[in-house]
Each structure stands twice: as structure tokens, then as C-alpha cells.
Structure 1
Amino acid sequence: MSIDQFAAHIGLDWADKKHDVCIQFKNGERRFEVIQHIPESLDTWLNTLHKQVNGRIAVALELKKGPIVYALQKYPFITVFPVHALSLARYRQAFSPSGAKDDPQDAELALDLMLRYPEKIKTIEPSTGELRLLQQLVEQRRLLVEDKRRFVNRLINTLKQYYPQPLEWFSHRDSGLFLDLIAKWPSLQLLKRARANTIRRFLNSKGGPAVKHTESRIEHIRNALPLTTDQYVIEANMLLAVTQVKQIKLVVESIKVYDVRIDELFKTLPDADIFKSLPGIGPCMGPRMLAALGDNRNRFNSAEEIQNYAGIAPVTERSGQKSWVHWRWQCSKFVRQTFVEWAAKTVHTSYWAGIYYQGQRSKGKSHQSAIRALAFKWIRIIYRCWKTKCCYDEAKYLKALKERDSPLLKT
């Protein structure tokens, strides 16, 4: 969409409670305003401006998502141009070497970037409603997983203060059996008062592989000695441990609710089969991969664009006779995490991926470097499948490697 098609252009510097805006009209006139972040205020201001200019309005701001973006997207006459925050900061520094931030000035700079470099700033093109929902759900689920990990680490630290034995008896510190044990017997003293048969029935109640460890755990409980006998230390940490167990259980249940909804939604999307065909994808990674690429085939025009967007492609800098390569900082961290975590799974589920990983390791690369290199290679395959709407076929890809006499199959 040409930038000249708009009746007015706006640079917006957002905040929680108010937004500074710089409006440029067709005649070149500029006007600064401050809009309160209240739905009614935004609605009145936008509709009044729309009637005044009688045409579409372009808005530049340093966000791709968030409350103000969602608010603007409900108006059909608004087109949002997201400006990268680092680009805006560097542009500001070009005029103010001190780097001092000023909200009205930032609004004007965002406007200038949109007007001067329209080919560099792509409009936000919303995906289908179902895909936007999936994108939010998978990111929110990941936040809950991080919360669970944080709560589990806190519980481990609390138990180390007065009751470290369960950490030796159980390797999975977020399992239902482990959490129920801490909730039922939050101290070694209370656990040792229980009868052996009571503990045995409890440990066997969940069934599964844990049953084979029941007798050895009972023996450990019988011989265990308390780390401390200070009742004040024990009482305080008991209360904290039980509280943390409740937090973990609540987060685990919430994650299960998200899993059900994500799975239901993922199955209804037309591109789901493409990502289901990938090796080692699983019920968690499939929706995340689909959410990362989206359903707009014009969003990425090459695999390199995805590699850069995901932060998998390294950055090469050159100055004079020097050249160095470093980690890409400006990228979507969640998308990078998605590709790297999935690539690690393919080492054991894809024949060529396992060979490629071992080849990287034999060159002296660390595990993480080898996985990132594998993710870089996978993105080219995924891009082709996504662009052509074809499912991945391992046998077909191995045949293609053989026909090209790929050195990968000779290692």
C-alpha cells in the first residue's frame, strides 16, 4: 500500500495512560495532541479526525501488538505501521546525541520514519481470527510454563533449607506424587510418624513406573535423619513449601486447560497438517510453529527472512580488514526459542538431522551451536513446505539429498 494513499499520517508515542501524537495532513500542516488511553476518548478522537480528513489514516508507532494496537485495528479506516523500537532510538540519537527521550518528539520521529522510508516499514496485516487467537494462546502458555519452572525452583530451594530428602527420592519435582507428598507430609518429622503401610499405599496410589521405587523410598524414609531440629525454621518453611505446592498445582491445571484449547484450535486450521508432518513436532510444538509463521504467504518472501526474524541467522559485521560474527539480538525471542527447541527434538526423530548434528559436534561446536545450525537448515525446508502448502516427507527429502550427492549422507 502506497504511503501517498492516506489522507493523514500520524506518529504515535504510546504509554499506559496517554498517547502523544503528531498528525500531518495532506497540505503538510503538522499538529501535536495528547490522547488519553480511554476507549471512549480514543473513539471520539479517531472518528472526529476521520470525518475531518475524509479518508484513510496511517499510524506509525513502535509496537506490533498491545492495547493501543488492538484498539486501532478495530477501525477499518486505520492502517498501522509498526516502527522497530531500536530503529526509532537510533533515529532519535541522530538528532539528539544525548539520547534524551521526549514523547512528542518520538511521535514526530515515528511519523518521519514512516514518511521517509515507507518501503522499510511494512503494515500490520492481521491474520485470521483463529490464528491470532492461537498466537496469543501459545505465548501465554509458555509464560505459564516459565511460572511453573520458577515456582518449582523456589520449592526446591525451600526444601533445601529444612527437608532435602524428597529431592533425593524424586527426580521429577513437578510430578503429582512429589507435590502430594510435600502437601501431605511437609516435614521429615511428620513423614516419619506415618506408618509404613500408609506411605506404601500413598506411593502406589498413582501407579505407573513410580511403583517400582516404593520399597526403596520407604527404606530411605526409615533411615533418614532431619537436617535441622529447629522448630521455628521448620514451621516457617513448611508453610512456604505447602504454599508453593498449591501454586505449582494451580499453574499445572491452567496449562492443561490451555493445552486442550490449543489442540482444539490447531486441528481446525488448514495449515495444521503441514506442521504435523514434521518429525518430533508433538502436540506442543506444532501450534507454536504454525503461530510463528502464520497463514499469510506474503509475509515472508524467502527462508532468509524467517531466519533473520527468528534470530537464527547470525549477524556478520565488517569494518576495514576486520570481520566478525555475533548473536542476533533484535528478533522475536519466542519464535527463536520455538525453532531451537523443536530442532533439538529432531536430532532423535529425523535421520538426516541426527547425522547433521553429530557432524557439527565433531567439528568442535557446542550442543547449542549445533542445534542452532540445525534450526537454520530446517527453516529452509519448513519455508518451502509452508510456501507450497506441502507436507514434509522425510523419505522424499533423503532421496533428494542422494540425487544431489549431498556430503551429508557420506558422513
Structure 2
Amino acid sequence: MRYYAGLDWGESHHDVAVVDEQGQLITHLRVTDDVHGLAQLLAALAAVRRNRSSIPIGIETGRGLMVAGLRKAGQPVVVLNPTQVANYRSRLAAQRKKSDRGDAHLLAHVLRVDGDAHRPAPAVSPQAAALRELTRTHRQALHTAGLLARRLRSVLRDYYPGAATAWAHLPGGLTRPEARTVLTAAPNPTRAARLTHRRLETLLTASGRTRLITAEASRLHELFHTRTLRQPAEVETAMGHTTTALLTQLNAAIASAHTLWTQIDNLAEQHPHTAIYRSFPGMGPLLAARLLAELGDDPQRFPTARNLRAFCAATPITWASGTSHKVSHRRKANPILAETGHLWAFATLTRSPGARALYDRRRATGDRHPAALRRIYARLLGSLHHCLRAGILYDEDLAFPAPPDSAAENGT
């Protein structure tokens, strides 16, 4: 007799249900989200079957202390997609209804009926799990900084057009250190007009700039002294305070991202898979850390390269029904992997002759730019899967072998 469990997660308590092969409810309990609740849950599972590790637990989240406690205790945890779980409700009752007790029973029922379609959570090492937490927080900090920079630009355009365009042509724009330093010293046009050429040079030096300081100071001095439309003095002062507040938040977000990146770099350097990831063309330290964090280091997670490509949304999906046949890329996927794959494939165009040749061939056959990049991403993932399995570094000649006609021309 096999048994299946479902855990409906809550902030303070969790409902747990265990069913047998026929779907009969064996036990139900409500446990608290603490050490005592975990002990009570493990004891209840052991009462159902002495070898409790043979009872998988379905849950709709892979995070939290209870999940960490279950995995540490050796209990198999299966993370179920909430959207898929919601589609199962109509299979149990014609009238859709919801309760904590019912949801726990539903999760156990999903594993009983379609358990072979859902795999247990991967056995990721603590180092890889820590790296995933840091890279996701770092990505969020970068997105927050970008959002604040766009809000700052929007505010500046309404009263301070010179500052809004002063660094628009430079990489980073308003997130550049000199931009933030100058705006902190002169958050409104009145104070900017008082900045002397010498004062601008001092601010640029303080921001860390080391090249063309005199020329840049002259450019800013001329820009800030150009006549433009102005807001009333009171409004201009108030909007200057808004700019100062946004700059404070922007500086904090950028500083947090920098601190997190230092920790990410140190942690990634210690992982044995980092050397393999970074051996690939176009794979910088940040992309390597993000990809390693999202894929994890469980050697059994992706049995084949096809599984890895599908998980990373690098392979298309086909919708075929009758005379209808449509092939499209996977839209419902891990957004971090999709973003990382696009950047990685684009970076290889100037660093891998084989990737560039593949891109040109796909474009010649009619693929659009994103579709051609996904082809490169899929090819690189196949090579990555092989390198991780074999424990070897990337080899351009093996990843993108020369066509037979080219080899014959070269006399090889």
C-alpha cells in the first residue's frame, strides 16, 4: 500500500492530509509553523508508515522553514504549480470550493493520480541554494535601481531638463556615480547655476571619475547655464527635495546591489561547477552565477539535455489539433532563465564563431532575432549539459563542429 500526503501552507499553521492508493483519507492534522509542528508532522507520517520517507508530500511552494525542515529530515517534497492544482478542483467536485483542509486533501490527490508527472524537489546543495537566494535578491536590487532611475528622470524632466539629459548619452545614465554626486550637490536648476567650473571638477573627482575631468566639467557648466523654462521658485524647491529623496533611495539600491554582488562572487568562486560555466563564450561572472543558481547542482535533476532545454524555455511547444498546427516558444517559464538565456546567446555572437554562424543561418531561413537567439541558447544548453555530466570545460570545436564541406575545403 502506497500513501501520499498534501500540505496546505499557511503563515501560522499548515493543514496536512494523507491518502492511500484508493484515495481514502487516512489522517488529517493541523500543525504549527515551528519545531513542534514539524515534529508532530513527522510523527504522524511515521504512524502511517514506519518508513515515512516513502510518503511524498505535495506543496505549492518550495520556500519556507517547514519545507526546509522536511527536506532536512529526508522527507520527499514535491512542489506543485498552483495553477495546475487549481485545475484539479473540478475533478473532485462539480461545484468549485476551497478550504484549507480540502486543499491539503487535493494536493495529496494530485500526487496519487498524477504523481509520475511531478518530480520531487531537486536535491540542491546548501551552497547552490544560498547562491540562488543572493542572485535573486541582487537582480531585484538592480531592477529597483532601474525603476528609481526612471522615476528620477521623469521628475527631472518636469523642472530640471538640463540634468535629465546631461548623462542620457552615457552608459548607466542617471545611475552613474558622477550623475548622482552632482545631483546631490545641485538638486535644482538654481543651485546648479551656482556651481563653478572648479566645484564641478571637485564633484567629478569625488565621484571616482579619473579621465577627462576638465572637459566634462566644462560640458556640465555650459549645460547648467543654458537658459530653459523654469518652474516657480517654490515648486522648484519642492521638486528638488523630491529629487534628493529619490537619490537617497537610488544610492541605497545601488549600494545593496554592489554588496550582494561581492557576496555572490565570493560564493560562486567556491562552487566546483563555476569553472565549467565560465568556460563558455559570453558567460560572464554574473550570468554564470545566475544560471548556476537557477539550475542548481543536483546531477539527477535533468536526465537529458532535452529536459534542461525545456526547463529553460529554449525549446518550442507544438499545438496540433485536426488541421491546426502551431509552433511557438514557451512563454510560461522561469523569467530569470529566459532573461539570462537571451543575454547569454546575444553575448556569444561576438565571442563564438560557431554561434554566429548558427545565428546567420537561422536568420537566413526566416527566424526573427529572438528566435535565432533561442536556437543558440538551446545549442549552448546541450553543450552545458554534456560538460556538467562529463566534468569537462567547453570546447568550441565540439560544440559547433565545422560542416563536412568546410572540413573538406580545409583539407581536414
Length-normalised TM-score, structure 1: 0.88
**How far apart, CA to CA, are the structure 1 residues paired with 2:212 and 2:12?**
53
203-212 or 143-152: bigger deviation: 203-212
**How far apart, CA to CA, are the structure 1 residues paired with 2:403 and 2:365?**
23
What amino acid sits opposite 2:396 in the alignment?
E
What amino acid sits opposite 2:148 in the alignment?
F
What amino acid sits opposite 1:334 in the alignment?
I
Please give the per-residue CA displacement for 1:263-297, whole angstroms capped at 9, x wherever unaligned. Answer: 11111111111111011211211111222332222
Is residue 185 of structure 1 aligned with residue 181 of structure 2? no
Q: Within 5 A, what are the aligned runs for 1:206-355?
A: 206-209=208-211, 211=213, 212-225=215-228, 227-355=229-357
Assess, with a 3 A threshold, how the Cα gap between structure 1 residues 32 and 353 changes in structure 2: closer, same or farther. Answer: same
Assess, with a 3 A threshold, how the Cα gap between structure 1 residues 67 and 329 changes in structure 2: closer, same or farther. Answer: farther
Please give the per-residue CA displacement for 1:74-98, whole angstroms capped at 9, x wherever unaligned. Answer: 323x221222223212221334456
Asked if structure 1 preserves the Cα contact closer than 8 Å seen for 2:38 and 2:70, the reply is no
12-21 or 137-146: bigger deviation: 12-21
What amino acid sits opposite 1:62 in the alignment?
E
Assess, with a 3 A threshold, how the Cα gap between structure 1 residues 363 and 100 changes in structure 2: closer, same or farther. Answer: farther
Assess, with a 3 A threshold, how the Cα gap between structure 1 residues 333 and 323 changes in structure 2: closer, same or farther. Answer: same
What amino acid sits opposite 1:322 in the alignment?
S
Q: Any unmatched runs of 5+ in structure 2? A: none
Aligned partner of residue 278 in structure 1, secondary structure: coil
Aligned to 1:11: 6
**How far apart, CA to CA, are the structure 1 residues paired with 2:382 and 2:271?**
22
CA-CA distance at 1:26 after TM superposition: 9.0
Please give the per-residue CA displacement for 1:160-207, whole angstroms capped at 9, x wherever unaligned. Answer: 121121222113210110011111100111110222222233234433
Is residue 115 of structure 1 aligned with residue 108 of structure 2? no
**How far apart, CA to CA, are the structure 2 residues paired with 1:337 and 1:250?**
25
Q: 1:20 aligns with which of 4, 15, 27?
A: 15
CA-CA distance at 1:72 after TM superposition: 2.4
What amino acid sits opposite 1:165 in the alignment?
G
Assess, with a 3 A threshold, how the Cα gap between structure 1 residues 134 and 82 changes in structure 2: closer, same or farther. Answer: same
Aligned partner of residue 392 in structure 1, secondary structure: coil
Aligned partner of residue 98 in structure 2, secondary structure: coil
**How far apart, CA to CA, are the structure 2 residues paired with 1:72 and 1:397?**
40
Aligned partner of residue 265 in structure 2, secondary structure: helix
| Aligned-residue identity in percent | 21
CA-CA distance at 1:17 after TM superposition: 3.0
Asked if structure 2 preserves the Cα contact closer than 8 Å seen for 1:134 and 1:262, the reply is yes
Asked if structure 2 preserves the Cα contact closer than 8 Å seen for 1:204 and 1:210, the reply is no
Is residue 124 of structure 1 aligned with residue 121 of structure 2? yes
Assess, with a 3 A threshold, how the Cα gap between structure 1 residues 329 and 22 changes in structure 2: closer, same or farther. Answer: farther
Q: Any unmatched runs of 5+ in structure 1? A: none
Root mean square deviation, CA, Å: 2.6
Asked if structure 2 preserves the Cα contact closer than 8 Å seen for 1:310 and 1:333, the reply is no
What amino acid sits opposite 2:351 in the alignment?
T
What amino acid sits opposite 2:193 in the alignment?
K
Assess, with a 3 A threshold, how the Cα gap between structure 1 residues 42 and 405 changes in structure 2: closer, same or farther. Answer: farther
Is residue 46 of structure 1 aligned with residue 44 of structure 2? no
Is residue 85 of structure 1 aligned with residue 86 of structure 2? no
Assess, with a 3 A threshold, how the Cα gap between structure 1 residues 181 and 239 changes in structure 2: closer, same or farther. Answer: same
**How far apart, CA to CA, are the structure 1 residues paired with 2:212 and 2:145?**
22
Q: 2:26 aligns with which of 26, 30, 34?
A: 30
What amino acid sits opposite 2:47 in the alignment?
Q
Aligned partner of residue 175 in structure 2, secondary structure: coil
Aligned to 1:149: 146
Assess, with a 3 A threshold, how the Cα gap between structure 1 residues 186 and 364 changes in structure 2: closer, same or farther. Answer: farther
**How far apart, CA to CA, are the structure 2 residues paired with 1:50 and 1:397?**
48
Is residue 371 of structure 1 aligned with residue 388 of structure 2? no
**How far apart, CA to CA, are the structure 2 residues paired with 1:351 and 1:375?**
14
Assess, with a 3 A threshold, how the Cα gap between structure 1 residues 58 and 397 changes in structure 2: closer, same or farther. Answer: closer
Assess, with a 3 A threshold, how the Cα gap between structure 1 residues 365 and 403 changes in structure 2: closer, same or farther. Answer: closer
Aligned partner of residue 223 in structure 1, secondary structure: coil
What amino acid sits opposite 1:300 in the alignment?
F
- Paired residues in the alignment total 398
**How far apart, CA to CA, are the structure 1 residues paired with 2:259 and 2:405?**
47
Asked if structure 2 preserves the Cα contact closer than 8 Å seen for 1:165 and 1:224, the reply is no
What amino acid sits opposite 1:401 in the alignment?
A
What amino acid sits opposite 1:15 in the alignment?
G
Aligned to 2:63: 65
